[in-house]
Structure 1
């Protein structure tokens, strides 16, 4: 069984407690993500947060939604993921960022299906010449094995790679079996779309898009999101400003 490990903590530098703020109909992004991930068959969900007391509220949300919660290192996120996976006996992991409300359900299912048929250490989406995790889109998740994460722990002590869990793997393809799924053509050349929620401006823009789209389609596709944004230039302009300020 594949395990979704949702990386969550309240200590964001730019927008503290962003995953707890009411995002849609009183629910937080974290709660909305849990509901979405539950729709993917043959998987389980685990919230991985830190053992700092300020994250008690995340554990409360997890338990109130009947989801297991693991608490580990605040700064060594790699170790937290390894410990979390071992906590539930997970060998196959899909890493989920808890601040991305637009994760596409179809893409998650595609990833689950592909890794069930293909042996690899890491798999995610390749979009417009780069790994999706390096973009501002916020549409995708990443698959990784526990074995690969343990290998990273052995190969490097660099704090960068212990904070950004999968970076070492896709940056060192000679040491791992890395596989990519091509992102949709509709996103080629789209350096004007940002749906991650790192700042309050991001949050408000994403909230506007989400609230308008969910009334039409409860889990909007990438194509639907892009089509909507192309009809609302003022939202794209706001995104461009945040992309310029928050370059990856």
Structure 2
């Protein structure tokens, strides 16, 4: 059974332009995401999927410099970008990661890969809410192609797996129970705004280790409430 990780990335961002290439710790945001994804056990390949827009050539250049596999597809139709990026690999499953999550939980992701290999359904759900920025998604490639070929709304194509959560009864699924150590959904460990970036910088500077476990990051933020409060007021954009 093959599982690949696809990281969606683009330079454009209304609230924090160029966020995925910003400096972080001793490196940059995209390095954090890619390197942490490479620590996920049971994954055959890590691919960055960006758009064909000229401005996203900066991500292509980054990938070439860092010897990271990449694909360029539609900017708005991220669903088709994923389907097309995965096609050459003949994979069974796709792990979806977004590039604005520099502390993505590779230990959680490893356990989810094990779960799907033990019980090969179409979707792995996470049973409990987590801090924004830690979770990954796993969906079968066949299910993703079925969504792509079906009748979908704009939100389904922008958010890739959203259809599978909106129409749950159309997919086989299992629920994965995450560690109690990371069940702190009030925390934001993602990168959408300047305040998010400030928090991520504080975390990166404290640990000076891009492979720090997500559980340690959560504990650090719980113990340092002033840092956790930096971006606590940020509201996530709704899916429309």
TM-score (norm 1): 0.88
- Pick from 164, 167, 172: which aligns with 2:162? 167
Aligned positions, number:
236
Q: Are residue 92 (structure 1) and residue 93 (structure 2) matched?
A: yes
Q: What root-mean-square deviation, in Å, do the aligned CA atoms of Structure 1 and Structure 2 show?
A: 1.8
TM-score (norm 2): 0.91
Question: What pairs up with 1:210-225 in 2 under 5 angstroms?
Answer: 210-214=204-208, 218-225=210-217
Partner of 1:82 in structure 2?
Answer: 83
Change (3 A) 1:236 1:38: closer
Q: What is the SS of the residue equivalent to 2:204?
A: helix
Q: Distance in 2 between matches of 1:68 and 1:199?
A: 27
Q: Distance in 1 between matches of 2:215 and 2:24?
A: 22
- In structure 2, runs of 5+ residues without a counterpart are none
Q: Are residue 194 (structure 1) and residue 188 (structure 2) matched?
A: yes
Question: What pairs up with 1:108-147 in 2 under 5 angstroms?
Answer: 108-128=109-129, 136-147=131-142
Question: What pairs up with 1:1-248 in 2 under 5 angstroms?
Answer: 1-25=2-26, 27-42=27-42, 43-128=44-129, 136-188=131-183, 190-214=184-208, 218-242=210-234, 245-246=235-236, 248=238
Q: CA deviation at 1:3?
A: 0.8
Q: CA deviation at 1:191?
A: 4.3
Tell me which of the two structures has the higher relative contact order, counting C-alpha pairs closer than 8 angstroms and 6 or more residues apart: 2
Q: CA deviation at 1:241?
A: 1.5
**Does the CA-based 8 Å contact 1:72-1:80 persist in structure 2?**
yes
Change (3 A) 1:222 1:32: closer
Q: Distance in 2 between matches of 1:46 and 1:187?
A: 26
Runs of 4+ in 1 over 3 A off after TM superposition: 245-248
Q: Distance in 2 between matches of 1:114 and 1:163?
A: 27
Q: CA deviation at 1:4?
A: 0.7
Q: Deviations over 1:133-191 (max 9, x none)?
A: xxx52112111111111111233230000100011102212100122212232445x34
Change (3 A) 1:14 1:84: same
Q: Deviations over 1:42-90 (max 9, x none)?
A: 4211111111111111111112222211111110111111111113333
**Does the CA-based 8 Å contact 1:24-1:211 persist in structure 2?**
yes
Q: CA deviation at 1:247?
A: 5.8
**Does the CA-based 8 Å contact 1:127-1:187 persist in structure 2?**
no
